[in-house]
A = this chain, B = another copy of it.
C-alpha cells in the first residue's frame, strides 16, 4: 500500500530552531507521551498500550507507534514466530524522555487534584 498524500505526520521540518517546539513537533499531542509512559513502565505490546486507562483508539496508537519508530525513539522487533508477533521497546533516545515525563507528571500531582503519583520506572529485563 502506498503512503497516502502526506498524512501530515510527516511534518518533516521543525517549526523553528527552538528545542521545545521541535520536541513538540514529535511528541506534542494528547497521546504520544502516554505511549512513552507505558513503555517506560514496562508495557511492550500493542494490546497493552490499547488497554491503558485513557483508551487510545487503535488507529491512533498504530500511527503513533510508527512515528516513534521512524524517529528512533522505539524499536519494533519480533518476540515470537508463528504467528509472528512484535514487541516495542524504548531506545536510549526514547528513554531520555523520562525526565520530561516525570516533570510533567510532578506538575500534575502538585496542581491537579485526584491524580496519583507515577510509579518507579520498570527497567524490565528483556
Residues of A within 8 A of B (CB): 1, 3, 14-26, 28-30, 33-34, 37, 52-55, 93, 96-97, 99-112, 114-118
Within the assembled complex, what's the spacing in Å between the Cα atoms of A16 and B112? 12
- Given the known A-B contacts A29-B30, A96-B111, are A20 and B37 also in contact in the complex, defined by CB atoms under 8 Å? yes
Give me 12 A-to-B residue pairs in the complex whose CB atoms sit less than 8 angstroms apart, sorted by A's number: A15-B55, A16-B54, A18-B115, A19-B105, A20-B34, A20-B37, A22-B108, A23-B112, A96-B107, A96-B111, A97-B107, A100-B106
Q: How many subunits of this chain does the assembly comprise?
A: 2
Residues of chain B within 8 A (CB-CB) of A26 are: 112
Report which of B15, B22, B53, B104 forms a contact with A100, defined as CB distance below 8 A: B104
Check A19 against B118 for contact (C-beta < 8 Å): yes
